[in-house]
Amino acid sequence: MNDYIYASLQKRVKKISPFPVHRLKRVDKPTTKITDQVERFDEREHGFNRALRGDFGERAQKERMRFVAKYPLSASLAQLTAKLQHAVDGEINTQKAPIPGEPELLTAHMKRLGYFLRADLVGVTEIPYYALYSCDKEGNPINLDHKYAIVFLVDQGYETFNGSNGRDWISNSQSFIAYSTSALIACAVADYIRRLGYPARAHHARNYQVVVPPLLLWAGMGEISRMGVILNPFLGSRFKASVVTTDLPLVPDKPVDFKLQTFCQHCQKCSRECPAGAIPEGDKVMYNGYETWKADTDACTKFRLVNPRGSGCGRCIKVCPWNKKNVWFHRIPRWASQRSVLFQKMLLWMDDCLGYGKADPRDKWWFDVEAVEDGWDFSYED
């Protein structure tokens, strides 16, 4: 029976995703330039941590204290990640389990495990030095020495995005349903690997020791977008990611090229629609040793914190032409846009003409209420 399982895994190693990832063009390096001059990032310098220490003023600092609890559902979901603290790391079994040692089989096994645990996409990469924080948010140096990273993507939910304007009361909850689900997956996988006798650590919201975007790039989970975040060809940017770092022998995936760099160069919809004016309209620039469209993270953070008509913001994700259901009548124009600049421009024109990016009230199911100290504030739409 074991021989049959191993043979089945080996046979399906390229087709174990619910999306046709095996059809994506794989390349040796990411489609955005990365030099050897990239400096590691201090987690204390993230926007929300800077807001907490008062860098953006008193109002933003006050709103940061209730950012998650501002909407009751996001507060409930955030509790789940807090309760997983004990499962992030732990003791390693002193005896390795009697499983095959071939990296190809172990990689296929880990990916199937991720999908079994309800991940939407799973990828593997070696960890570049710049994908580790230099210090955590308490100022402790990060010295993680694992070789591989397994990344898990979880969809925030197309239907809810369709009913939302992207910057209303459900926005933060969309983030946290993906954060909490991916956290559970990462903690379960890391604990499982440790029980097999290999080191492993889970990294999820409030518990990252790794910088996620470069891991997504190298694991073939997407390309850098004008939004300054990684965009996936099947989920757009409508996902959150968790990571397991480990020394379990694995086979890294390669980066992908689905022509997003030319697409984002022509498309400026996220820039046009950003309520904070945080997304640039021009060309990519070199920043900290890598090439990107450099977003104004200060402006983005401040708007998400003080947003008077919602909890957080995901307007850029909402309006992005890649934020679509994975159905044939969306796959065809995407496929065409990867092969022709003309089709890219046609797709952008059609996206506006058909009204994508607008809230569809038929998919709205949540209540617009704000939690305040002395009761409930019934909020309203723009």
Query: Which residues, in sequence order, are CB contacts of 327 under 8 Å at separation 6+?
Result: none
pLDDT at residue 1, rounded to an integer: 52
pLDDT digits (tens, 9 = 90+) for 113-152: 999 999 999 999 999 999 999 999 999 999 999 999 999 9
- Say what percent of the chain tops pLDDT 70: 90
Environment class of 281 (CB within 10 Å of its CB; exposed 0-12, middle 13-18, buried 19+):
exposed
pLDDT digits (tens, 9 = 90+) for 173-200: 999 999 999 999 999 999 999 999 999 9
pLDDT at residue 378, rounded to an integer: 62
- Rounded to whole angstroms, how far apart are CA atoms 123 and 74? 27
| Residue of 221, 231, 84 lying closest to 150 (CA atoms) | 221
Q: Over range 77-101, report the average pLDDT.
A: 91
Residue 369 pLDDT > 80, yes or no?
Answer: yes
Helix (H, G, I), strand (E, B), or coil: what is residue 291? strand
Vertex 174: Cα angle to 173 and 178 (nearest 5)? 105
pLDDT at residue 375, rounded to an integer: 67
Confidence of residue 233 (pLDDT cuts 50, 70, 90): very high
Confidence of residue 234 (pLDDT cuts 50, 70, 90): very high
Residue 339 pLDDT > 90, yes or no?
Answer: no
At 87, list the tokens.
């499962």
- Say what percent of the chain tops pLDDT 90: 79
Of residues 285 and 85, more confidence is placed in 285
pLDDT at residue 13, rounded to an integer: 54
Q: Over range 151-166, report the average pLDDT.
A: 96
Residue 306 pLDDT > 70, yes or no?
Answer: yes
pLDDT at residue 131, rounded to an integer: 98
pLDDT at residue 206, rounded to an integer: 84
The CA-based dihedral angle spanning residues 355, 349, 337, 119, taken in that order and rounded to the nearest 10 degrees: -20
Q: Over range 17-22, report the average pLDDT.
A: 86
At 126, list the tokens.
């070696």
Confidence of residue 353 (pLDDT cuts 50, 70, 90): confident
- The residue assigned the tokens 């949540």 is 366
